[in-house]
Amino acid sequence: MSEKLNITIINGAFEETNNMKELFEIINSNLDNCITLELKLNIINISNLISCRGCKRCFKKGVCALDSMDNFYEYKERLIKSNIIMIYTPVYVDNVSGIIKTFIDRLASWSHKMTLAGKLCIIIITSNNTGIEWVGNYLYKVMSSYGLIVIGLITKTSKSNLKELKQQINDVIFRLLYYRKFPQKISTNYCLENLYSSYSYIYQNLCDSDNFEKKEWEKKFGKHRSLCDYIDQK
């Protein structure tokens, strides 16, 4: 495939582990024909990544008061420009890592507007033993709320078989490259369409014509009957 891909990796690890290192080496070896832009939250000044304060300004005005304080707007721009988004987290106490939770909280308003609608997503999880199923389900729900089409889940535990892991990665990357080559084959799913339908109904029946989210939704999706319809006409 000659087309170069713009891939952003949301790295939710505080430090590199053997699980993570081996996993990323395999992924990178299969993506040597792609341009990978890696968003490593653990490498930027983590102390400056400010936790969401729940002021709801992002919902009301579309602006986060914290973005200019820790340059979070730069990461938002990189996500919007990406074709593919990979999100990686180790399992901490049967949950995502703290930095991934902070990242998700700071993008809360995106889940009301499906800001990343139509982009492809791969979820990557490592764990010593437990928690993968819960974390996988949680991230699938959150990524879908952004409008992302999750095309694969890659998991690794301390007991993972290397051959099976490589096959898992190859299967996901095959789907990734296939959809980039044949974008008309991209399809949504019940979760995405249900979210789209729910938000469409809410905004269509919202009496406040000055509501920021309503305006943003109408500007982006207009009269599209479904998310699939929006993607097909992009």
Burial class (CB in 10 A: 0-12, 13-18, 19+), 86: buried
Helix residue ranges per DSSP H, the chain: 18-29, 57-61, 67-70, 72-81, 98-106, 110-113, 132-145, 162-181, 190-204, 212-221, 227-232
Q: How confident is the model at residue 46 (pLDDT cuts 50, 70, 90)?
A: very low
Q: How confident is the model at residue 2 (pLDDT cuts 50, 70, 90)?
A: very low
Cα dihedral across residues 219, 220, 225, 229: positive or negative: positive
pTM: 0.89
Q: What is the pLDDT of residue 152?
A: 93
Given its phi and psi angles, is residue 176 left (phi above 0), alpha (psi -120 to 50 degrees) or beta? Answer: alpha
Q: What is the pLDDT of residue 42?
A: 36
Q: How confident is the model at residue 31 (pLDDT cuts 50, 70, 90)?
A: low
- Of the candidates 108, 100, 196, which has an alpha carbon nearest to the alpha carbon of residue 147? 196
198 pLDDT above the threshold of 90:
yes
Q: What's the mean pLDDT in 206-220?
A: 93
Q: What is the pLDDT of residue 44?
A: 38
Q: What is the pLDDT of residue 37?
A: 53
Q: What is the pLDDT of residue 112?
A: 95
Answer with the residue of higher pLDDT: 135 or 46.
135
Q: What's the mean pLDDT in 148-164?
A: 88
Q: What is the pLDDT of residue 3?
A: 54
Q: How confident is the model at residue 11 (pLDDT cuts 50, 70, 90)?
A: confident
The mean pLDDT value of the chain amounts to 85
Q: What is the pLDDT of residue 184?
A: 84
Q: What is the torsion angle, in degrees rounded to the nearest 10, for the CA atoms of residue 86, residue 92, residue 94 and residue 98? A: -70
Percent of the chain residues past pLDDT 70, beyond the cut: 88
Asked which of 1-15, 27-41, 75-89, 199-213 is least confident by mean pLDDT, the reply is 27-41
